[in-house]
């Protein structure tokens, strides 16, 4: 039963290494949807994520809500992130829209760059650090995850200590249930 774990909004110098440590401990690979600004400040960390066998994707330059962006501005967000990822030796084939907001312009920009659009099917709301606890994340993932699901988590964009703690709890339980982690 294949599932995918995705990590958004990094790389982050504090939390991404913690996530990598958990994933390595359990022998799990994930897909890291990276923001260009974060990549630019953490090129060596991008290389570390890649060297560990994880997939790296484009998550725009600055995680903007692009719903009202014209086609040229959408293209610039994607291209600028691709350019900085290239500086770290990465050439992504996948794109995740910030907030999961997809428009015709975003999908056209992806198609023109041969980027596959990536969504998710399990959102444990770890992004809501003010209201969602480690155990909320764990409960949601364990209750909702089914074969072929894509789990949304975050390694950047704020305090991700609850996410790191949750990974340590739900990954071994999902493995015990017979799930196999694959790249998205």
What is d(CA 80, CA 110) in angstroms, rounded to the nearest whole number? 13
Structure-block tokens of residue 164: 């790191």
Interacting residues of 67 by C-beta distance below 8 A, sequence separation 6+: 101, 103
Asked if 8 is an active-site residue, the reply is: yes
Catalytic residue among 54, 59, 63, 154: 154
Q: How many CB atoms lie within 10 A of CB 159?
A: 12
Classify the phi-psi angles of 54: left when phi > 0, otherwise alpha if psi is within -120 to 50, otherwise beta: beta
What is d(CA 140, CA 7) in angstroms, rounded to the nearest whole number? 16
Catalytic residue among 8, 9, 126, 149: 8
What is d(CA 143, CA 133) in angstroms, rounded to the nearest whole number? 15
Asked if 154 is an active-site residue, the reply is: yes
CA distances from 158 to 4, 55, 80 (A): 22, 22, 22
Residues classed as catalytic: 8, 154
């Amino acid at each position: 039963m294949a599932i995918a774990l995705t990590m958004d909004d990094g790389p982050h110098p504090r939390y991404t290494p913690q996530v990598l440590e958990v994933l390595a401990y359990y022998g799990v690979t994930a897909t890291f949807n990276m923001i260009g600004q974060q990549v630019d400040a953490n090129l060596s960390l991008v290389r570390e994520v890649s060297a560990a066998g994880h997939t790296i994707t484009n998550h725009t330059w600055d995680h903007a809500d692009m719903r009202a962006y014209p086609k040229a501005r959408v293209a610039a967000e994607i291209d600028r992130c691709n350019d900085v990822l290239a500086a770290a030796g990465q050439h992504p084939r996948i794109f995740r829209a910030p907030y999961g907001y997809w428009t015709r312009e975003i999908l056209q920009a992806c198609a023109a760059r041969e980027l596959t659009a990536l969504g998710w099917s399990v959102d444990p709301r770890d992004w809501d650090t003010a209201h969602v606890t480690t155990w909320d994340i764990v409960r949601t993932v364990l209750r909702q995850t089914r074969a072929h699901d894509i789990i949304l988590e975050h390694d950047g964009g704020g305090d991700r200590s609850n996410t790191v703690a949750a990974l340590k709890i739900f990954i071994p339980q999902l493995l015990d249930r017979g799930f196999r982690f694959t790249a998205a």
